[in-house]
Chains A and B, each alone.
Chain A
Amino acid sequence: MVTVGELIERAVAAHARLGLVAEEVEDEATYLADLQAAWAARLRAVAAARGGEPADPAVVAALDAAEAQVDRIADPHRAFDWLSTLPQVVLLSLGEAP
């Protein structure tokens, strides 16, 4: 059984991978760090509340698809945009406010 907490840790790890790609935009380093911290905190707040819940298979599939997309992103500017999009995709699939 996959839990919501495990899914969220996968999402946070994928978010960090996007951050590595976005790092190439050197003049946005501070914003990048702030953005990653803000979204990781939001995702982990959901894990703190619901981490032990079993994850719906549709939500697992949603994260699989989102990770596949993340792992294809090589452009740093696109990666920056996805630093907002990935957490919103995960939150929507979990029925949380995006």
Chain B
Amino acid sequence: MRFADPRPDGRAIVYAAIQADPLVDRCAAALADASTGQRILARAVMNGEPADPAEWRAMFPALFGAAVPAAEGARSQAILDLALEVAARGEESRSQVRGAIVEALAERLVARRTGPVRRERRILFDGVASEIHPYDLTVERTDGVAEAWDCKWGARGIRAEVLHQLDDARRHAVDEGATLLVGLVVFDARRSCEVRLLRERGPVAAGAVKLVAIEQLDRLAGGRPAA
């Protein structure tokens, strides 16, 4: 098992520019230290229709209510402001930026636990035709458990072909005597992801592909979900 850069193509060039958008990094940095509630706020706003910030604050009394400590309220407000910046983008740009934010957030969290973490890399196996699509994140360890993660904004991104590619990589690694942990990071509710997995999993064994949903993102960093 070895890791390699993808073949350069137009999509990669365009996507690299999106990943380099400073707003992506600012959002990922804020969300890496956010609570589950704050992450759900960000998801709601980034996918919402234009609304007065006061309406969003009313929607999340646990983040902005009178009993919330000032520092925590300020953190929630900072996340709301960032999410409103994303929501203000045009529909296509908003969609691209959201996907890049999930990847950048996952990278930050995984890097707190292990490394080296790389982006957009392929995994090659002897005698196996290489996959066309690179993985969003890889942990390229040769002295332990390597990892490959795909990142999705929503549960609808969980598709049979994505699960099969991840599971095939896991099984090829086993064939070579290596260990590759494979999984999906989804910025969506676990319940919605589980409903989707039941439909899309097919012959992929339950648990073969790890699922980290919005409520458990801190597990990527080796921790328990924030309150």
Contact = CB atoms under 8 A, between A and B. Distances in A.
Given A58-B61, A89-B44, A92-B40, A84 B49 contact: no
Interface in B27-85: 36-37, 40, 43-44, 47-49, 51, 55-56, 58-62, 65
Contact of A88 (B154, B189, B198, B199): B189
B58 A28 contact: no
A97 B48 CA distance: 22
What's the interface size class on A, roughly?
35 or more
Contacts of A53: none
A84 B36 contact: no
Given A81-B47, A92-B40, A31 B196 contact: yes
Nearest to A71: B49
Contacts of B62: 92-93, 95
Interface in A20-70: 28, 30-31, 34-35, 38-39, 42, 56, 58-59, 61-62, 64-66, 68-69
Interface of A: 28, 30-31, 34-35, 38-39, 42, 56, 58-59, 61-62, 64-66, 68-69, 72-73, 78, 80-85, 87-89, 92-93, 95, 97-98
